[in-house]
Amino acid sequence: MLMNDKKPESAEPIIRIENLHKSFGHLEVLKGIDLTIHKGEVVALIGASGSGKSTLLRCLNRLETVTAGRIVIDNIVLDDSLKNVHHIRREVGMVFQHFNLFPHMTVLQNIMEAPIHVLKKKKEEAAREALALLKKVGMLDKKDVYPRKLSGGQQQRVAIARALAMNPKIMLFDEPTSALDPELVGEVLQVMRQLANEGMTMVVVTHEMSFAREVADRVIFMHNGVIEEQGDPKVVLTEPKSERLRAFLRLIK
Ligand code: ADP
Ligand code: MG
């Protein structure tokens, strides 16, 4: 496995995926994924539409059950135990392509919701932390605004703050900038870049190759439910070994 010098090979594994299979009915979508991700690592997941990227991400916080194989996150086995599932959901934050903010709540209320109702935090504490997170994503001045009044980029930054409010150890992003107008992509990537620099473990499904090249420690190319190629972005994206990855990179350029 290729890693850059920022993340020593001795870093602790935080996600372990062993021989993961996932089918929907007769359709086998993940066909044996083996993958270890270390604390603080930033992984960019790329591949054609339908290759299984979202399904893999969704298995990691148990939005999907697995058909076979094993996932261990932060030493917790993702099995049928509801206790483990709840535990994992707290540790793994997820940001989707469509921001899914609660439309009837202000920005601040959106962020305070889970800390109050899931983590049982006091209102004052939740508010204090929410304001700090809004400051971090540059949205403090919009705290009392409803989501529909915000641009897509602003909504996505709030969605990131909302996920961070659960104090996750891992953040999953599923094409977080794909629904945005081009001029709004940068502000969201900037927030993600900052998170990466702070040492957050991140798995990011993205078509933003410049982000993958500059921010990711590792790029993983999926094809047809398997990992076709992976490694240092500077190597994998410039000298791909696999003909399929070469074809994919030509297509998205
Ligand atoms: P990607 O994110 O790489 O585009 P997905 O993981 O979303 O790929 O989908 C992989 C395949 O699994 C696709 O063929 C898709 O239609 C199928 N699929 C995804 N979710 C479901 C589901 N809930 N039920 C049935 N098929 C699904
Ligand atoms: Mg997808």
CB atoms within 10 A of CB 50: 13
Distance (Å) of CA 175 to CA 182, 197, 204, 205, 249? 14, 20, 7, 5, 17
Taking every pair of C-alpha atoms in the chain, what is the biggest distance, in angstroms?
A: 55
Ligand 1 pocket member 26 (CB < 6 A): no
Q: What is the pTM (predicted TM-score) of this model? A: 0.94
Handedness of CA 59, 176, 208, 90 (dihedral sign): negative
| 72 within some domain | yes
The residue whose CA has the least distance to atom 16 of ligand 1 is 50
In a domain, 162, yes or no: yes
| Domain that residue 55 falls in | 13-251
Protein residue with least CA distance to atom 7, ligand 1: 54
Q: Which pLDDT score, from 0 to 100, does residue 4 have? A: 45
For ligand 1, atom 13, which residue shows the shortest CA distance? 50
DSSP bridge partners of 223: 226
Question: Measured in angstroms, how far is the CA atom of residue 63 from the centroid of ligand 2?
Answer: 14
Q: Which amino acid is at 182?
A: P
CATH number (domain holding residue 160) = 3.40.50.300
Residue 196: predicted pLDDT? 96
Does 144 reside within a domain? yes
3 occurs within a structural domain: no
pLDDT of 85 reads 87
Rounded Cα distance between 190 and 235, Å, is 23
Burial of 78 (0-12, 13-18, 19+ CB in 10 A): buried
Number of other CB atoms surrounding residue 89 within 10 Å: 17
SS3 at position 71: strand
User: 97 C-alpha vs ligand 2 centroid, how far in Å?
Assistant: 9
Q: Tell me whether residue 41 is in a domain.
A: yes
8 A C-beta contact, residue 21 and residue 67: yes
ipTM value = 0.98
Rg (CA), the chain: 18
Ligand 1 neighbour 47 (Cβ under 6 A): yes
Q: Is residue 19 part of a domain?
A: yes
Q: Does the beta carbon of 53 lie inside 6 Å of ligand 1? A: yes
DSSP 151-177: -HHHHHHHHHHHHHTT--SEEEEESTT
5 Cα to the center of ligand 2, angstroms: 30
- Residue 207's SS3 state is coil
Q: Distance, CA 51 to ligand 2 centroid (Å)?
A: 8
- The reply to whether ligand 1 has any atom less than 6 angstroms from the CB of 54 is yes
**Number of domains, the chain:** 1
- Whether 49 lines ligand 1, by a CB cut-off of 6 Å, is yes
Domain presence at residue 5:
no
8: in domain: no
- Predicted pLDDT of residue 9: 55
Sheet containing strand 76-77, edge to edge, reads: 27-38, 13-24, 68-73, 76-77
Tens place of pLDDT per residue across the chain (253 aa) = 444 445 555 689 999 999 999 999 999 999 999 999 999 999 999 999 999 999 999 999 899 999 999 999 999 998 878 888 888 888 999 999 998 899 999 999 999 999 999 999 999 999 999 999 999 999 999 999 999 999 999 999 999 999 999 999 999 999 999 999 999 999 999 999 999 999 999 999 999 999 999 999 999 999 999 999 999 999 999 999 999 999 999 998 7
Closest atom of ligand 1 to CA, residue 49: 4
pLDDT of residue 10: 64
